[in-house]
Amino acid sequence: MEKFIVKGGRPLTGEVAVSGAKNAVVAILCAALLVEDEIILENVPDISDVWVLTDMIEALGGDVTRISSGTYKIDCRNLSTYVADVEKCKKMRASYYLIGSLLGRFHKACVPLPGGCNFGTRPIDQHIKGFQSLGCSIDIRNGVIEADGEELHGGQVYLDVASVGATINIMLAAVFAPGNTVLENAAKEPHVVDVANFLNSMGANIRGAGTDVIKIKGVKNLHGGTYTVIPDQIEAGTYMIAAAATRGDVVIKNVIPKHMDVLSAKMVEMGIEVWEGDDEIRVVANKSLSRVNVKTLPYPGFPTDLQPQMVALLTTVDGTSIVTESVWDNRFQYIGELEKMGCRITVDGRVAVVEGGTHLQGAQIKATDLRAGACMVIAALCAEGESEISDIRHVDRGYERIVEKLSALGADIKRTND
Ligand code: EPU
């Protein structure tokens, strides 16, 4: 089993480039199933979620070729089935996007219920409600979603929660649905906008992505083209937080600073210096930092996917910080691991009370999920002595070459295989 060995105590300094956005690319790869032509996709991150999805596309009859680092050619002209592989779907949450794209392509989809990080119940009722509003019938049998969209048509959908997955999935199913679809209370995350931009660049007619009302006019077909995935907001945020937590000075390149506004503001509130350029952000933490409260919310609020990393930072700051998780009902499972490093954190439901000023000690800890893994890496970089982080397959799902990127910033981190 692979592990990270981290010797902490070194401030991160230098430059790091952010890769393409995981949560955009996993949806765009599924959206590619709608295109009966050749697509060139650029800025694709080299992460295991991408490898799993490209395998899934090939199992459906698509052809995916890696042309060079970060650039893929995708050809779904010969897609041959609407039945997705059970074992592959169990490996990741985003496999649910196959429902929307196969419905669009074949008017039928047979997709196992998705896997992915476990932080409490992860229902897909809003996805199903959306498909039904577009005239589809949905059955769930033996853990497999069977969707029939023979009568697929435009429709009106009001989401009870602004779900990222439901918003994108309904968009995918509606691309070819005759008539107009109006999606209200839509999620506004940058990756929602990126998927809409990708589809529009291939000939779809989607307006309003990035606001809470998205309007989709059904088109007859999509054409091929070249598209570049946006930079990863969460990877960028992870390096910003790691820079501050180690009291370093790091320039994070290839970012869209606007996507980082809420984190930048929180950091400034803590006394961290944040400079924004056109496509880069410099983070400097060279004086004593202040405690803050953080509450996660859908975009443009503080991202839940940066909550664990932020907790790692707050353990290093004097004073008590309150962190409220309002997106997921059980996303503090990693706190027990931080406690092994000497952190004092009390969790009550969706609220964590972080008593800062901890002198973190290296320990044997594990990545309980993807972002929890990033939190462990940050805590280990700050700790005195050596930490051993296990279950790092979670980290590899979403962070490209993390060991190389952190090493280039001066971190003492290596990957070992027991
Ligand atoms: N929800 C419902 N019903 C639904 C769908 C969602 O009640 O049908 C609820 C969820 O239980 C949750 C909230 O709505 O409380 C938000 O869920 P959402 O659907 O937005 O999450 P998701 O699409 O499953 C994506 C990201 C997650 C990220 C969330 C929130 C992908 C592949 N995953 O998940 O990313 O935490 O949005 O921003 O885009 C990660 O990258 O580490 C990660 C977990």
Could you report the per-residue pLDDT of 358-415, keeping only the tens digit for each? 899 999 999 999 999 999 999 999 999 999 999 999 999 999 999 999 999 999 999 9
Helix axes 164-174, 125-133, angle to 10 degrees: 20
pLDDT confidence of residue 120: 65
Phi/psi of residue 366, nearest 5 degrees: -130, 155
Q: Pocket residues for ligand 1 (CB within 6 Å)?
A: 23, 26, 93-94, 117, 122-127, 161, 163-166, 187, 234, 304-305, 327-328, 370-371, 398
In 3D space, the residue among 78, 80, 64, 82 whose CA is nearest the CA of residue 28 turns out to be 64
- Show which residues are catalytic: 117
User: Taking the CB of residue 248, how many other CB atoms lie within 10 A of it?
Assistant: 22
Place of tokens 């932020």: 310
Q: Which atom of ligand 1 is nearest to the CA of 304?
A: 36
E strands, 91-204, are: 108-112, 137-141, 144-148, 156-158, 180-184
CA–CA separation, 189 and 259 (whole Å): 9
Q: Tell me the torsion sign for CA atoms 30, 329, 332, 285.
A: positive
User: What pLDDT is attached to residue 162?
Assistant: 96
Question: Which pLDDT does position 58 carry in this prediction?
Answer: 95
Sheet with 71-75: list strands edge to edge. 63-68, 71-75, 38-42, 225-228
Site to probe by mutation for ligand 1, drawn from 167, 327, 329 as the one with most ligand atoms within 8 Å of Cβ, is: 327
Taking residue 132's Cβ as centre, other Cβ atoms within 10 Å add up to: 14
| Confidence band for 116, pLDDT divided at 50, 70 and 90 | low
Cα(163) to ligand 1 centroid in Å equals 6
Q: Distance (Å, rounded) from C-alpha 219 to C-alpha 142?
A: 34
Convert the pLDDT of each residue in 263-321 to its tens digit: 999 999 999 999 999 999 999 998 899 999 999 999 999 999 999 999 999 999 999 99
Tell how far the Cα of 165 is from the centroid of ligand 1, in angstroms: 6
Residue 21 near residue 190 (C-beta atoms within 8 A): yes
- The whole-model pTM stands at 0.97
Residue keyed to tokens 């577009």: 134
What local confidence, expressed as pLDDT, does residue 89 receive?
82
* Alpha carbon nearest to ligand 1 atom 18, residue: 163
Asked if residue 148 lies in contact with residue 82, where contact means CB atoms within 8 angstroms, the answer is: no
User: What pLDDT is stored for residue 114 in this prediction?
Assistant: 78
For strands 320-324 and 294-295, give the pairing: parallel
- HEC sequence for 341-379: CCCEEEEECCEEEEECCCCCECCEEECCCHHHHHHHHHH
| Residue 143: pLDDT over 90 | no
Residue 207: partners with Cβ closer than 8 Å, 6 or more residues away: 214, 215, 216
Pairwise CA distance, residues 302 & 375, whole Å: 16
Residue among 47, 113, 161 whose CB has most ligand 1 atoms within 8 A, to mutate:
161
Looking at residue 93, its pLDDT comes to 82
Give the H/E segment covering residue 314. Answer: helix 307-314
CA-wise closest residue to 338 among 382, 295, 275, 291: 382
pLDDT score of 75 more than 70: yes
Tokens found for residue 112: 């196992």
Cα 19 from Cα 43, distance rounded (Å): 7
pLDDT of amino acid 258: 97
The more confident residue out of 91 and 192 is 192
pLDDT tens digits, one per residue of 25-74: 999 999 999 999 999 999 999 999 999 999 999 999 999 999 999 999 99
Please tell me the residue having the least CA distance from ligand 1 atom 7. 123
How do residues 84-113 score in pLDDT, each as one tens digit? Answer: 988 888 778 888 999 999 999 999 999 988
pLDDT of residue 90: 79
Task: Give me ligand 1 centre to Cα 404, in Å.
Answer: 29
Q: What is the pLDDT of residue 113?
A: 85
Please state, rounded to an integer, the average pLDDT across all residues of the chain: 96
Radius of gyration of the chain measured on its C-alpha atoms: 21
Which residues are within 8 A (CB) of 118 and not within 5 positions of it... i.e. 6 or more apart? Answer: 333, 369
